[in-house]
């Protein structure tokens, strides 16, 4: 490998095509249904591997989002300010339909597999902004429990327009949607929720309620609306809660503070309080968990995709490094022990990629194939468990291959 400066420092792995440089991905996703979208995926692989998009990823994580609770006149605004790079990343993902492509075609026509491939490519460069992308991509199966609400929101969810300013949903060309389940006293056990919802004019499916309480972890709080769980008279129920009300006033959702998190730094996660905020019941009262779980399920496969994407990016960086860096008289990849480590890592990522591809194909066909639907029920938790467990040890091992430079933020490995 050429090293004109003679410094033995490794050139950055950029620009490069994240799709065409990953033949296992190309073959596996084509076999599962993405083959007609090959050109689109080649173009996207090129775009996300450009110096510009890679730089956005670094900037969005270096300059964390900031909470602005009040405007200069002392009125509450409860807004989060992001670095422009975050908006660039989210705008790119939305314009490519990462949040809605799966609903743009009929099941079996490859849209879900292609969308998952796009998410996988993008997430190697920046994963934090994928949080609102994933939640929005997952909300429709839950929201469709309430057709009158879905009628207003669905055309704006299945839209390629990125419109970050807060405004009534009816006035927006595109919207993003988050979810609030977890409270201080319980996350896994959401039955412990204490937020309450009181009906206005009798309530009922699609009816208006007033919500009072809190959420302990509300990610992507600049979303246009949230599915929130709260206790209604008949039990825990699911509500659609917009940030801005139809008359243009702000729904009283107060962002108390943003979490100072391990990783996921480009993405804001807020502690939220609300006092008589307006929300509309989605589905039946008392059926909140079965309703919102349909949204949660969509985000579960995205967790597996994120886990594989982090592994893949780390191993790509390690492979690149050891092919360029020399020590003790030869390049690192020519050392038998190093070749052994990198080969093990590569095999693990390839197997993980095949697992992700198989699951993506099952999600593609599940609405029209009972056996595939049954497969997703077993395979999703298994894949999510295994791949998220394996992701950090694989990244850590890849980081060690890069040596001291792997500990430096600019290398991307600490972020992964």
Q: What is the DSSP string of 13-62?
A: --S--TTTT-HHHHHHHIIIIIGGGHHHHHHHHHHHTSHHHHHHHHHHHH
- Of 179 and 412, nearer to ligand FAD (C-beta) is 179
By CB under 6 A, tell whether 193 contacts ligand FAD.
Answer: no
Residue in 45, 110, 180, 203 binding ligand FAD, rule: CB under 6 A: 180
Residue in 136, 219, 360, 391 binding ligand FAD, rule: CB under 6 A: 219
Can you give the three-state secondary structure of 389-412, one letter per residue? HHHHHHHHHHHHHCHHHHHCHHHC
Q: Which stretch in 89-97, 172-180, 282-290, 346-354 sits in contact with ligand FAD by CB under 6 A?
A: 172-180
Residue with tokens 């890592």: 345
Closest CA to 276 of 197, 192, 180: 197
Tell the smallest beta-carbon distance from residue 226 to ligand FAD (Å): 8
Q: What is the DSSP string of 195-256?
A: -EEEESTT--TT-EEEEEEEEEEEESTTSSEEEEEEEETTEEEEEEEESB-TTSPBP-EEEE
Q: Which stretch in 6-14, 119-127, 178-186, 355-363 sits in contact with ligand FAD by CB under 6 A?
A: 178-186
Q: Which stretch in 20-28, 48-56, 78-86, 176-184 sits in contact with ligand FAD by CB under 6 A?
A: 176-184
How far apart (Å, rounded) are the C-alpha atoms in residues 132 and 262? 18
The answer to whether 413 and 310 have CB atoms below 8 angstroms apart is: no
| Secondary structure of residue 193 in the 3-state scheme | coil
Is the N-terminal amide bond of 258 cis, ω within 30° of 0? Answer: no
By CB under 6 A, tell whether 353 contacts ligand FAD.
Answer: no
How far apart (Å, rounded) are the C-alpha atoms in residues 75 and 52? 37
Residue in 116, 123, 193, 218 binding ligand FAD, rule: CB under 6 A: 218
- Of 134 and 376, nearer to ligand FAD (C-beta) is 134
In terms of DSSP H, where are the helices of 285-369? 288-324, 336-365
Tell the smallest beta-carbon distance from residue 263 to ligand FAD (Å): 8
Tell the smallest beta-carbon distance from residue 213 to ligand FAD (Å): 13
By CB under 6 A, tell whether 136 contacts ligand FAD.
Answer: no
| Secondary structure of residue 276 in the 3-state scheme | strand
- Of 105 and 300, nearer to ligand FAD (C-beta) is 300
- Of 32 and 294, nearer to ligand FAD (C-beta) is 294
By CB under 6 A, tell whether 182 contacts ligand FAD.
Answer: yes
The answer to whether 240 and 208 have CB atoms below 8 angstroms apart is: no
Q: Which residue is nearest to ligand FAD (CB)?
A: 187
The answer to whether 215 and 183 have CB atoms below 8 angstroms apart is: yes
By CB under 6 A, tell whether 179 contacts ligand FAD.
Answer: yes
For residue 9, give the DSSP letter. P
User: Interface residues for ligand FAD in 235-274 (CB under 6 A)?
Assistant: 261, 264, 269
- Of 102 and 214, nearer to ligand FAD (C-beta) is 214
Tell the smallest beta-carbon distance from residue 217 to ligand FAD (Å): 3
- Of 180 and 288, nearer to ligand FAD (C-beta) is 180
Residue in 107, 186, 199, 205 binding ligand FAD, rule: CB under 6 A: 186
Contacts 24+ apart (CB under 8 A), 329-338: 331/1, 332/401, 338/401
Tell the smallest beta-carbon distance from residue 140 to ligand FAD (Å): 17
Task: Tell me how many residues contact ligand FAD (CB under 6 A).
Answer: 15
Tell the smallest beta-carbon distance from residue 305 to ligand FAD (Å): 16
- Of 44 and 274, nearer to ligand FAD (C-beta) is 274
Residue in 181, 278, 322, 357 binding ligand FAD, rule: CB under 6 A: 181
Burial of 230 (0-12, 13-18, 19+ CB in 10 A): buried
- Of 218 and 251, nearer to ligand FAD (C-beta) is 218
Tell the smallest beta-carbon distance from residue 139 to ligand FAD (Å): 12
Element (H, E) at 177: strand 177-180
How far apart (Å, rounded) are the C-alpha atoms in residues 383 and 365? 18
By CB under 6 A, tell whether 64 contacts ligand FAD.
Answer: no
- Of 184 and 396, nearer to ligand FAD (C-beta) is 184
Tell the smallest beta-carbon distance from residue 344 to ligand FAD (Å): 28
By CB under 6 A, tell whether 217 contacts ligand FAD.
Answer: yes
List residues near ligand FAD by CB under 6 A: 178-182, 186-189, 217-219, 261, 264, 269
């Amino acid at each position: 490998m050429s090293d004109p400066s003679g410094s033995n420092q490794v050139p950055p792995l950029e620009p490069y095509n994240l799709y065409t440089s990953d033949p296992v991905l190309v073959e596996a996703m084509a076999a599962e249904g993405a083959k007609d979208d090959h050109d689109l995926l080649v173009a996207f692989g090129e775009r996300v591997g450009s110096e510009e998009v890679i730089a956005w990823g670094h900037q969005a994580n270096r300059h964390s989002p900031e909470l602005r609770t009040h405007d200069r006149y002392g009125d509450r605004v409860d807004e989060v300010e992001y670095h422009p790079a975050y908006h660039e990343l989210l705008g790119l993902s939305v314009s490519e339909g990462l949040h809605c492509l799966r609903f743009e075609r009929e099941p079996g026509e490859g849209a879900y597999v292609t969308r998952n491939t796009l998410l996988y490519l993008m997430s190697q460069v920046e994963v934090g902004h994928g949080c609102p992308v994933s939640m929005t991509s997952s909300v429709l199966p839950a929201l469709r429990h309430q057709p009158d609400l879905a009628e207003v929101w669905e055309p704006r969810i299945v839209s390629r327009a990125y419109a970050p300013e807060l405004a009534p949903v009816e006035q927006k060309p595109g919207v993003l949607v988050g979810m609030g389940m977890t409270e201080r006293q319980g996350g896994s056990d959401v039955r412990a929720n204490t937020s309450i919802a009181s009906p206005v004019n009798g309530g009922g499916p699609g009816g208006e309620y007033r919500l009072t309480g809190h959420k302990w972890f509300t990610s992507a709080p600049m979303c246009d609306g949230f599915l929130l769980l709260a206790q209604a008279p008949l039990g825990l129920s699911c509500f659609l809660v917009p940030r801005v009300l139809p008359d243009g006033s702000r729904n009283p959702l107060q962002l108390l503070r943003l979490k100072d998190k391990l990783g996921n730094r480009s993405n804001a996660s807020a502690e939220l309080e609300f006092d008589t905020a307006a929300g509309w019941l989605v589905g039946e009262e008392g059926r909140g968990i079965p309703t919102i779980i349909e949204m949660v399920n969509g985000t579960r496969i995205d967790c597996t995709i994120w886990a594989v994407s982090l592994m893949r990016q780390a191993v790509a960086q390690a492979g690149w490094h050891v092919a360029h860096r020399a020590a003790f008289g030869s390049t690192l990849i020519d050392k038998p022990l190093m070749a052994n480590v990198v080969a093990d890592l590569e095999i693990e990522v390839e197997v993980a990629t095949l697992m992700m591809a198989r699951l993506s194909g099952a999600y593609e066909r599940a609405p029209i194939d009972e056996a595939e639907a049954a497969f997703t029920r077993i395979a999703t938790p298994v894949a999510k468990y295994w791949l998220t467990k394996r992701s950090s040890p694989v990244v850590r091992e890849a980081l060690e291959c890069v040596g001291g430079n792997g500990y430096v933020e600019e290398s991307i490995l600490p972020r992964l």
